[in-house]
Amino acid sequence: MTAPKKLFIKTYGCQMNVYDSERMAESLGEQGYVATENAADADMILLNTCHIREKAAEKVYSELGRLKALKAEKPDLKIGVAGCVAQAEGEEIMRRQPAVDLVVGPQSYHRLPDMEARVRSGEKSLNTDFPEEDKFAALESRPKAARAPSAFLTVQEGCDKFCAFCVVPYTRGAESSRPVARILEEARDLVDRGVREITLLGQNVNAYHGMGADGSDKSLAELIWALNDIDGLARIRFTTSHPNDMTDDLIEAHGACDKLMPYLHLPVQSGSDRILKRMNRSHTAESYLQVIDRIRAARPDILMSGDFIVGFPEETEEDFQATLDLIEAVKYGYAYSFKYSTRPGTPAAERAQVDPDVADDRLQRIQALITRQQQEIQRDMVGRNLHVLVEKSGRNPGQMVGKSEYLHAVHIDNSDARVGDIVPVRITEAKRNSLAALRRK
């Protein structure tokens, strides 16, 4: 018997890439590959890339430079590029880096086994099509290996919203949703393998409209209620949502569905209506705040999370101040802020750019505010009785680490719990990036 081939996948970018990497590993597993943690051991290296900001894309080329050296020592090594840089710059990758054997765009992963076979026979292979079919449809039987207690499950892909700064509609294509039955089947399979918490993923997950058993389209809320019936599944989350798709049934589910966790990532990008308009966001700061009011009416303790871009073309100090005001008004438990990055082919790339020093200064100011809010909210958790889904053991003996309902990392100091247990705790202290807790009896 020949030794199995080894596969090393390095994943950049969002959670959807994490999900795709797992499934690509499964798909190549059927071709006789086993995963390795060590690139130097691998027979095939796949970079699953992100194109969202310039730096993310550049990282890929520097990594490929290093891999070229590895390939010089190991000529049988095959190098592949997947993900959003592959979609956006496939031909250019092949041209710029001859060590690359395979380029596959995010909607073509079902072609991977064929492509691997071609590459093994010495050819190069590139596929960046947007076919109709579900890219993982062929993967009926997933390996029954045990799993970490939390898993991602992609339910929706692509985006039709075309924000003026964003590459996602180009790299992931038009919005499409997977049918309810396939998602339920995959969810049950995950639960059978020890998963207690599922995070439903989509670039615009709350625009989900997958086909239900009766042939009609179902909303994300309807999907969540269907998942709610799976015994053994304890927690449901979803990300990323668009403010315009927070429908009444989804807001209601936040109040009524116990398994749906009180955490919502709802990016707004800016607090200035002038900039939101220039971003093509189709909502205002006010309408965003109203959505949050409605969500908080349904679920008062919900922890809000968001994304912000500073230094978007033509952003003035006044616009930026409006963003800070919005953050003050919302009070975020988590928020991610980025300096605007010019993306070729997007409308905003053509406009007057903000001075980089000004953008840097705004980034520092927004991050200081966000950090202050995050720490306040973490401190407010002290003394509260929460539940932690245990993910692994901690550094000290007897210590276990997991996540609260609000997605905070929590260290339980006196726990005899096992991975996958949901443990009642009392929060005793807020540390810099996590909370300390004691198990309640």
Name the binding residues.
Answer: 14, 50, 84, 159, 163, 166
Beta strands in 131-224 (DSSP E): 150-154, 156-157, 176-177, 197-201, 210-211, 217-218
53 contact, one of ligand F3S, ligand SAH, ligand SF4, none, CB 5-8 Å limit per kind: ligand SAH
Helical spans, DSSP H, in 354-396: 356-380
Q: Which of 11, 176, 203, 373 binds ligand SF4 (CB under 6 A)?
A: 203
169 contact, one of ligand SF4, ligand SAH, ligand F3S, none, CB 5-8 Å limit per kind: ligand SF4
Quick one: tokens of 267?
A: 């990016």
Question: In the window 204-263, what residues touch ligand SF4 (CB under 6 A)?
Answer: 204, 242
Q: Which of 42, 44, 45, 52 binds ligand SAH (CB under 6 A)?
A: 52
Residue 5's nearest CA partner among 161, 116, 137, 142 is: 116
φ, ψ of residue 199 to 5 degrees: the values are -105, 115
Asked if 331 contacts 312 with a C-beta cutoff of 8 angstroms, the reply is no
Of 50-58, 282-290, 333-341, 346-354: span binding ligand F3S (CB under 6 A): 50-58
- Which residues 6+ apart lie within 8 Å of 272 measured at CB? 285, 315, 318, 319, 320, 322, 323
Of 167-175, 212-220, 274-282, 312-320: span binding ligand F3S (CB under 6 A): 167-175
Of 31-39, 155-163, 385-393, 423-431: span binding ligand SF4 (CB under 6 A): 155-163
Binding mask 215-254 for ligand SAH (x = CB under 6 A): -------------------------x-x------------
53 binds ligand SAH (CB under 6 A): yes
| Residue 240 burial class via C-beta count within 10 angstroms: exposed 0-12, middle 13-18, buried 19 and up | buried
Question: In the window 173-232, what residues touch ligand F3S (CB under 6 A)?
Answer: 203
Smallest separation (angstroms) from ligand SAH to the CB of 135? 19
341 contact, one of ligand SAH, ligand F3S, ligand SF4, none, CB 5-8 Å limit per kind: ligand SAH
Binding mask 5-24 for ligand F3S (x = CB under 6 A): --------xx-xx-------
Q: Which is nearer to ligand SF4, 109 or 165 (CB)?
A: 165
- Which residues make up each annotated binding site for [4Fe-4S] cluster? 14, 50, 84, 159, 163, 166
Quick one: tokens of 434?
A: 């996590």
Taking the C-alpha atoms of residue 280 and residue 295, their distance in angstroms, rounded to an integer, is 24
Q: How many residues does the chain have?
A: 441
Helical spans, DSSP H, in 193-283: 220-228, 248-256, 273-278
Taking the C-alpha atoms of residue 342 and residue 330, their distance in angstroms, rounded to an integer, is 28
Quick one: tokens of 174?
A: 């038009």
* Alpha-carbon separation of residue 98 from 61, 74, 406 (angstroms): 12, 15, 46
Q: What's the angle, vertex CA 287, arms to CA 209 and CA 223, rounded to 5? A: 20
Quick one: tokens of 270?
A: 């800016």
388 binds ligand SF4 (CB under 6 A): no
Q: Which of 47, 103, 151, 159 binds ligand SF4 (CB under 6 A)?
A: 159
Asked if 399 contacts 390 with a C-beta cutoff of 8 angstroms, the reply is no
142 binds ligand F3S (CB under 6 A): no
Q: Which is nearer to ligand F3S, 16 or 427 (CB)?
A: 16
Q: Which residues of the shown chain bind ligand SF4 in the complex (CB under 6 A)?
A: 159, 161-163, 166, 168-169, 203-204, 242
List residues near ligand F3S by CB under 6 A.
Answer: 13-14, 16-17, 50-52, 83-84, 167-168, 171-172, 203
